[in-house]
Amino acid sequence: MRKLYIQTYGCQMNVHDSARIADLLRETAGLELIETAEDADVLLLNTCAIREKAQEKVYSQLGRWRPWKLARPDLIIGVGGCVASQDGAAIRERAPFVDIVFGPQTLHRLPQMLRDLASEKRPQVDVSFPKIEKFDCLPTPRASSATAFVTVMEGCSRFCTYCVVPYTRGRELSRPVADVLTEVSALAAQGVREINLLGQNVNAYRGRTADAAAERVDLADLIRAVAAIAGIERIRFTTSHPMAFSERLIDAFADVPQLVDFLHLPVQSGSDRILAAMRRGHTVADYCTKIERLRQVRPHLTLSSDFIVGFPGETADDFAATLALVERLEFDHSYSFIYSRRPNTPAAEYPDDVTLNEKKARLEQLQHRLNHHAQRISRHMIGTTQRILVEGHARKDMNQLAGRTENNRVVNFTGTPDLIGNFVEVTITEALPNSLRAQLTSPVITASISE
Ligand code: 5AD
Ligand code: SF4
């Protein structure tokens, strides 16, 4: 079998896309995925354009592959993902040795592009947006553990002023309900117990049903339908936007026990002035009201978020408001970034008088507070009983097992390999900076919820 290596940058959606590419090329092009780039016949780079740093990585990685291509002209190099979508054929101006350029919406055409490359002996570029066609062309996913991602929608139509996603991934597009449920059932049949519904803006999900005249199904109903599938005992979703976070979704948190006690809901800033400049479409109060409503039905909910610091025009007061919000809502482990100017986005034109040093200092301060809250939440978990899904062996110690709590913490504990893929109960004994240690209390918890 010829060998395939995929280097992935960026978000969970890219990680998931890479897995689907590997499935597709194994089935249709006889390519076997390997871990060492040096031994590959086909090298793919799945790229991210969200910040400048991620984008620059692409060209430095291609620079490292260039001599390999010179030494072995039959080596195939392909570039996909958001940088490919943004730069298209221009990728080949900076890296003329690239054979294939494909976008997030054309990755399913890779087998054909590889065939055309072989027969036409010229580079192939396709970064178009052929809508839902992609999903119909991808094989049934192979489960690699007891937890799996299922794409329910792609793209974003919100156009926050700093963000490239609506341009690189296209507008919101939902998969039909039946397709999502078929995929979840196929994964459940392979032993998957936890489903993470994936999309750039999942609460904008509006899935078609078989009845074209019927109202579309929203995320709340989709969650209920997924929860009804035998074997699915945990449901997460990533990522959502505060605006479309509906009462119906809050109701789903109230009465779907499989929905985890955890929510990642990006707020970006704690200043109304900055939220308006970002064109987020909500205020700090709107956000807090939703979280308060949610905490009424889920008092133990853990909340995480994304933050951007140093947005053009962000004053010391604006930043102080972000810190105040972090104290008020006590966010758990979150992602925070320095604002990065992205070409062709509205914010790229905004005057920006905050120095990079100041931005770095703000980021450090924010991360320090976020980390403080995350460690506090971890410490509070010591002595509690947690239900965890055992995903495999611990990364650093093959004699230990690793699983995840509802609030996404990795837990390492001593146990036998037959527990992998099952839910168990553990008592947390120690909180480390990036994981927890625990003792097994109840070996296997059976599928109590779906029975
Ligand atoms: N600069 C910095 N961070 C950004 N994000 C999106 N665009 C930018 C940008 N131009 C962050 C947001 C988003 C996360 C995925 O990446 O916080 O929620
Ligand atoms: Fe980007 Fe805003 Fe859409 Fe999130 S909601 S992907 S930040 S445009």
- Please report the pLDDT score of residue 109 as a whole number: 95
Which has the minimum average pLDDT: 206-220, 340-354, 436-450? 436-450
The closest alpha carbon to 73, from 83, 85, 65, 82, belongs to: 65
User: What is the whole-number distance in angstroms between the Cα of residue 159 and the centre of ligand 2?
Assistant: 6
pLDDT on residue 448: 45
Question: Cβ contacts of residue 313 below 8 Å, gap of 6+?
Answer: 273, 274, 277, 350, 351, 352, 353, 354
Q: Which protein residue has the closest C-alpha to ligand 1 atom 6?
A: 163
Q: Which of ligand 1's atoms lies nearest the C-alpha of 338?
A: 2
Counting atoms of ligand 1 from 1, which one is nearest the CA of 340?
1
Ligand 2 center to residue 134 CA distance, Å?
22
Ligand 2 atom 5: residue of nearest CA:
158
Q: What percent of the chain has pLDDT over 90?
A: 91
| CB proximity list for 166: less than 8 A, separation 6 or greater | 155, 156, 157, 158, 159
Instruction: Tell me the CA–centroid distance for residue 19 and ligand 1, in Å.
Output: 23
47, 82 in Cβ contact below 8 A? Answer: yes
pLDDT of residue 135: 79
pLDDT at 84 over 80: yes
pLDDT value for 144: 87
Q: Is residue 351's pLDDT more than 90? A: yes
pLDDT confidence bin for 446, thresholds 50/70/90:
low
Asked whether the predicted pLDDT for residue 267 surpasses 90, the reply is: yes
CA of 163 to the centre of ligand 2 (A): 6
Q: pLDDT band at residue 260, thresholds of 50, 70 and 90?
A: very high
Indicate if ligand 2 lies below 6 Å from the C-beta of 201: yes
Which range of 214-218, 242-246, 250-254 scores highest in mean pLDDT? It is 250-254
- Peptide bond between residue 239 and the one before it cis (omega within 30 degrees of 0): yes
CA of 169 to the centre of ligand 2 (A): 11
Tell me which ligand sits closest to the C-alpha of residue 281: 2
- For the cut 90, the answer to whether the pLDDT of residue 195 exceeds it is yes
Mean pLDDT of 381-387: 97
* Distance (Å, whole) CA 437 – CA 428: 6
**pLDDT digit string, tens, across residues 199-241:** 999 999 999 998 888 889 999 999 999 999 999 999 999 999 9
Per-residue pLDDT at 445: 65
pLDDT at residue 132 in the model: 61
Across the chain, how many H-helices and E-strands are there?
A: 14, 20
Looking at the CA of residue 164, tell me the nearest atom of ligand 1: 7
Q: What pLDDT is stored for residue 200 in this prediction?
A: 94
97 lines ligand 2 (CB under 6 A): no
Read off the pLDDT of residues 102-141 as tens digits, 9 standing for 90 and up.
999 999 999 999 999 999 999 999 999 886 677 788 888 8
Element (H, E) at 28: helix 12-29
Q: What is the pLDDT of residue 94?
A: 93
Q: What is the model's pLDDT at position 238?
A: 94
Cα dist from 8 to 46, 82, 360, whole Å: 5, 11, 26
> Best substitution site from 14, 153, 159, 160 to test ligand 2's pocket, by max atoms within 8 Å of Cβ?
160
- Ligand in nearest proximity to the CA of 240: 2
Identify the pLDDT of residue 268: 98
CA of 265 to the centre of ligand 2 (A): 12
At residue 211, the pLDDT reads 86
Q: Residue 318 is which amino acid? A: D
Average pLDDT over residues 170-199: 96
Q: What percent of the chain has pLDDT over 70?
A: 98
Mean pLDDT, all residues of the chain = 94
Q: Angle, to 10 degrees, between the axis of helix 247-255 and the axis of helix 219-227?
A: 20
- Looking at the CA of 159, name the nearest ligand: 2
Which atom from ligand 1 is nearest to the alpha carbon of 268?
Answer: 17
Cα separation of 167 and 155, whole Å?
A: 9
pLDDT number for residue 210: 86
| Residue range 400-438, pLDDT digits in tens | 999 999 999 999 999 999 999 999 999 999 999 999 999
Task: Please list the alpha-helical segments (H only) found in 213-355.
Answer: 219-227, 247-255, 272-277, 284-297, 316-329
Tell me how far the alpha carbon of residue 62 lies from the centroid of ligand 1, in angstroms.
24
pTM listed for this prediction: 0.93
Residue 451's pLDDT band, with cuts at 50, 70 and 90, is very low
Top mutation candidate among 51, 198, 287, 366 for ligand 1, by most atoms within 8 Å of CB: 51
Pocket, ligand 1, Cβ cutoff 6 A: 50-51, 162-163, 266, 268, 306, 308, 337, 339-340, 342
User: How does residue 450 score in pLDDT terms, banded at 50, 70 and 90?
Assistant: very low
